[in-house]
Amino acid sequence: MASNSGDKGTRNLVIAMVVFIVAVGVIFSFISSRSDSTAAIPAAVSESDGYGIVLNPTSTPTIDVYIDYQCPACRVFEIINGGYLNEVIAQKKAKVVYHPMTFIGPESILAANAAACAADEGEFVDMNLALFQNQPQGENSGKWQSEYFVALGKSIGINSNTFEQCVNDGKYVNWTGNVAAASAKADVNGTPTIKINGKALDRNTEYGDLGKFRAALAAGGVK
Amino acid sequence: MRAKFDTYQPWITLLARLILGGVLLVAGALKVGNLQKSAMAVRAYELLPTAIANFLGYVLPWLEIGLGLLLILGVAVSISGLFGAIIMFAFIIAIAQAWARGLSIDCGCFGGGGPVDPSQTKYLSEIIRDIGLLGLGIFLYYFPKGRFALDK
């Protein structure tokens, strides 16, 4: 095959374009994965707690709960252990920090936003439960949109305009990116992940059994 | 025999380029849309320090896309094949160590990833597939000249 400078030019141009695509992609990835310090954050959120929603800030020990509202295993976790965890919260037996992750996609972001809006109304625990109880079949099914979350809020007694506006405006959408970035730094590699005093529970035994879950929390200092 | 190989080799090279390049391109494209998940999948191997795992999670999909494009178009085939083989070798090591240590994760090769039920792991088939792709990469390193390539 005859080679000429035209072929070589095309080849080099293609290499340059591919390198360019990769470089731009990598730069874009880093920028979009960074924490946004200008994002609006809910009142109960603290940066030092990985941008999580903090309940009982002065209690000890600390329980970190990493979930995605579209994750089926998280729904199962909530059904099995949510009642007990909510009892721990109600009786202030621990500081509980919820980290709503959003790697399953857009409807996880909207759900996390709605949960954060409910937190501002002091109704996070009920909203958290309602979201899991109403988790759609299939990811990003189209069912979870703003109107849905406003109605869901009303069903648990949140009727304020600020809540409705917060949900409709996606007020805390950018905050979910901060939660994601902080969770990545905290080496959370699946949901649900529950940590007590920074130590993760055993995924294979302690999430699916209320007795073992209670025992794990007790071992971590929940009386 | 030798003459026969010489006749078919450019076509085998083309096929190897399209398979390895196509798999890399698809694997990368399925991951770039969800970098949170991509980084999570790398962390789930519990092999690298968190910061490096996250870095790899963001960079790897783009490298796969780049290598895939080069192989499909037939540009810098020898070196791209070598890089493809090196990546596959790294994947095989990562999957094998996860298997040996008793982790139950999805490889996250085509999106997805993270912990799965122990009954849902597919380590053996993942490793066999990657060994096949590693072989294609090595072939391309030694026999880069093929049909329908920009490389001459």
pLDDT digits 0-9 by tens, A169-186: 999 999 999 999 999 999
Instruction: Give the dihedral sign, CA A147/A148/A149/A154.
Output: positive
> Is the pLDDT confidence value at B105 over 80?
yes
Lookup: tokens for A153: 């809020």
CA B56 – CA B51 distance, rounded (Å): 9
Are B144 and B16 spatial neighbours (Cβ–Cβ below 8 Å)? no
Are A88 and A153 spatial neighbours (Cβ–Cβ below 8 Å)? no
Q: What is the DSSP string of B33-55?
A: T-HHHHHHHHHTT--S-HHHHHH
Compute the nearest-CA separation of B151 from chain A (Å).
7
Q: Does A5 touch chain B (CB under 8 A)?
A: no
Helices A72-90 and A210-219 pack at an angle, to 10 degrees, of 50
The pLDDT of B49-56, averaged and rounded, is 96
Q: What is the residue extent of each domain of chain A?
A: 1-33, 45-219
The pLDDT of A11-36, averaged and rounded, is 93
Q: Do the Cβ atoms of A14 and B59 come within 8 Å?
A: no
pLDDT digits 0-9 by tens, A6-21: 678 889 999 999 999 9
CATH 3.40.30.10 is held by the domain A45-219: yes
Q: Which of A103, A109, A193 to mutate to test the interface with B (most CBs of B within 10 A)?
A: A103
Establish how many alpha carbons lie within 13 A of residue A209's alpha carbon, considering only the half-sphere containing its beta carbon. Answer: 10
Least confident of A118-122, B27-31, B108-112, B125-129: B108-112
pLDDT for res A2 = 45
* A158 CB-near residues (< 8 Å, 6+ apart): A118, A121, A123, A127
User: The sheet that has A62-67: what strands, in order across it?
Assistant: A45-46, A52-55, A95-100, A62-67, A193-196, A199-200
Nearest Cα residue to B112 out of B57, B59, B53: B57
- pLDDT tier at A223 (50, 70, 90 boundaries)? confident
pLDDT for res A5 = 55
* A93 CB-near residues (< 8 Å, 6+ apart): A59, A222, A223
Q: Does A11 touch chain B (CB under 8 A)?
A: yes
A186 contacts on B by Cβ (under 8 Å): 50
Nearest Cα residue to B85 out of B134, B129, B152: B134
> Is the pLDDT confidence value at B151 over 90?
no
Q: Do the Cβ atoms of B75 and A21 come within 8 Å?
A: no
For chain B, give the percent of residues with pLDDT over 70: 100
Q: Do the Cβ atoms of B104 and A204 come within 8 Å?
A: yes
Compute the nearest-CA separation of B116 from chain A (Å).
9
Are A97 and A49 spatial neighbours (Cβ–Cβ below 8 Å)? yes
pLDDT digits 0-9 by tens, B13-49: 999 999 999 999 999 999 999 999 999 999 999 999 9
- pLDDT tier at A3 (50, 70, 90 boundaries)? very low
Of B40, B53, B76, the CB nearest to A103: B40
| A24, burial (CB in 10 Å: exposed 0-12, middle 13-18, buried 19+) | exposed
pLDDT for res A216 = 96
Tokens 């901060």 -> residue? A178
Lookup: tokens for A223: 């009386």
pLDDT digits 0-9 by tens, B76-98: 999 999 999 999 999 999 999 99
The residues with which B111 forms a beta bridge, in sequence order, are B109
> Is the pLDDT confidence value at B57 over 90?
yes
By DSSP bridging, strand A62-67 and strand A45-46 are unpaired
The pLDDT of A194-210, averaged and rounded, is 94
> Is the pLDDT confidence value at B99 over 60?
yes
Q: pTM of the full predicted structure?
A: 0.90
CA A149 – CA A176 distance, rounded (Å): 16
Q: Do the Cβ atoms of A189 and B40 come within 8 Å?
A: yes
Q: What is the DSSP string of B49-107?
A: -HHHHHHHHHHHHHHHHHHHHHHHHTSSHHHHHHHHHHHHHHHHHHHHHHHHTT--EE-
Q: What is the DSSP string of A137-171?
A: SSTT-S---HHHHHHHHHHTT---HHHHHHHHHTT
Q: Does B75 touch chain A (CB under 8 A)?
A: yes
Of A8, A102, A203, the CB nearest to B36: A102
Helices (H) and strands (E) in chain B, counts: 5, 2
Residue in chain B nearest A188 by alpha carbon:
B40
Q: What is the ipTM of this complex?
A: 0.87
